[in-house]
């Protein structure tokens, strides 16, 4: 099976190395593109802050076409989950697996815990046009709350900058006149698997449940002992088993 891995905010392909390794061990061919300007330990390019979700979608479409792949399986985490949904709506996927996916336009994403995670971001002048990353306080609370405490600083140090515009389109879509995160649900005709941690603080489980309800051919799996960084949390092996069983049933 040809599989494209789509990383999320503040991430790069190596964020999903645990997924890549188990997929390749099963004999799948895996491609993991790096979104533009997603570079670690370098001052962010100011242009990154202006990148819209549609720019990311167009970039990945070109990457898939350059590979010569026709409707691969898409596996995305967080914002990568939103990208997988958008690409599926444009006919670029045979099936999609969504790890803690960001929600499209119309599903209210905010609440106390997401706001607390990103508390400092909206108070930066014109955050929607600048690169940004969460504080350690916010990441420790909202991203890594099921990662062992002694490893959280290491995970935080692996985060890179992200587009403020992309965050605006996902988290504050109700202020967005361009409706940048809108996805026509009726055009997502492929099978959809949504995997969500019950302890996720940045994309609460009520949001991921709503994502699954949008699609006719979808399956939702709630994971009681997991949060947002599903692919690296203790017990991830069981999640991968669920994914493989679903891929087998929907191949």
Q: Return phi, psi of residue 142, to 5°.
A: -105, -20
Q: What is the pLDDT along the chain (251 residues), one digit of tens a residue?
A: 999 999 999 999 999 999 999 999 999 999 999 999 999 988 899 999 999 999 999 999 999 999 999 999 999 999 999 999 999 999 999 999 999 999 999 999 999 999 999 988 877 778 899 999 999 999 999 999 999 999 999 999 999 999 999 999 999 999 999 999 999 999 999 999 999 999 999 999 999 999 999 999 999 999 999 999 999 999 999 999 999 999 999 98
> How far out from the chain centre does Cα 170 lie?
11
CATH number at residue 114: 3.40.50.1820
Q: Return phi, psi of residue 221, to 5°.
A: -125, 120
- Predicted pLDDT at 121: 82
**Are the C-beta atoms of 117 and 142 separated by less than 8 Å?**
yes
Q: What is the span of the domain harbouring residue 183?
A: 2-250
- Predicted pLDDT at 42: 83
Domain count, the chain: 1
Strand partners, 195: 99, 221
């Amino acid at each position: 099976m040809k599989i494209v891995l789509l990383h999320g905010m503040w991430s790069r392909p190596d964020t999903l190395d645990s997924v890549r390794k188990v997929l390749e061990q099963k004999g799948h061919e895996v491609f993991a593109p790096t979104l533009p300007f997603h570079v670690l330990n370098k001052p962010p390019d100011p242009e990154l802050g202006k990148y819209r979700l549609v720019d990311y979608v167009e970039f990945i479409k070109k990457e898939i076409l350059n590979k010569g792949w026709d409707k691969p399986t898409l596996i995305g985490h967080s914002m990568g989950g939103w990208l997988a949904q958008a690409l599926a709506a444009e006919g670029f996927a045979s099936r999609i697996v969504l790890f803690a996916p960001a929600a499209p336009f119309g599903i209210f994403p905010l609440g106390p815990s997401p706001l607390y995670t990103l508390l400092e971001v909206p108070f930066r002048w014109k955050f929607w046009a600048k690169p940004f990353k969460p504080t350690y306080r916010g990441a420790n609370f909202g991203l890594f709350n099921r990662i062992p405490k002694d490893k959280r600083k290491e995970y935080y140090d692996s985060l890179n900058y992200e587009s403020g515009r992309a965050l605006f389109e996902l988290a504050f879509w109700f202020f967005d006149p361009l409706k940048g995160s809108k996805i026509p649900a009726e055009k997502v005709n492929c099978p959809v698997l949504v995997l969500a941690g019950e302890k996720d603080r940045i994309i609460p489980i009520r949001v991921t449940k709503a994502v699954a309800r949008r699609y006719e051919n979808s399956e939702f799996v709630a994971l009681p002992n997991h949060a947002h960084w599903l692919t690296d949390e203790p017990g991830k092996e069981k999640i991968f088993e669920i994914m493989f069983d679903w891929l087998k049933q929907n191949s």
